[in-house]
Amino acid sequence: MQEKSNRVIVTVIGMDKVGIIANVSGLLAEANANIVDISQTTLREFFTMIMMVDMDKATVSFDELKRRLNAKGDAMGLKIDAQHEDIFKFMHRV
């Protein structure tokens, strides 16, 4: 049986503005969650970002991290969400 991954997929969607990457990465750093990979793009005024985050050494639970990310998104007028990698893979399998 495959061991459960401790990686999380973080998605950010919204209107482009200064500080999105800084705010999200700062929040992750405060939680000691390591950004393993990141991809972001801006289509005209729309910003999208997806990050793979390793929670192995995180100082907060997944649920708490998700709550903090959602709150940061609300404060910035963005949609920020987090899903366990295993669930993300299951939902997006071909």
Express each pLDDT in 19-32 by its tens digit.
999 999 999 999 99
pLDDT confidence band for 1 (50 / 70 / 90): very low
Residue 2 covered by a domain? no
Q: Which of 32, 92, 88, 84 is nearest to 63 (CA)?
A: 84
Number of domains in the chain: 1
Cβ-proximal residues to 54 (8 Å cutoff; 6+ apart), any chain: 6, 7, 33, 34, 36
Residue 1 covered by a domain? no
Q: Structure pTM?
A: 0.85
Domain, as residue range, for 85:
7-91
Residue 53 covered by a domain? yes
We report the CATH number of the domain holding residue 68 as: 3.30.70.260
Q: Mind listing the pLDDT tens digit for each residue in 63-85?
A: 999 999 999 999 999 999 999 97
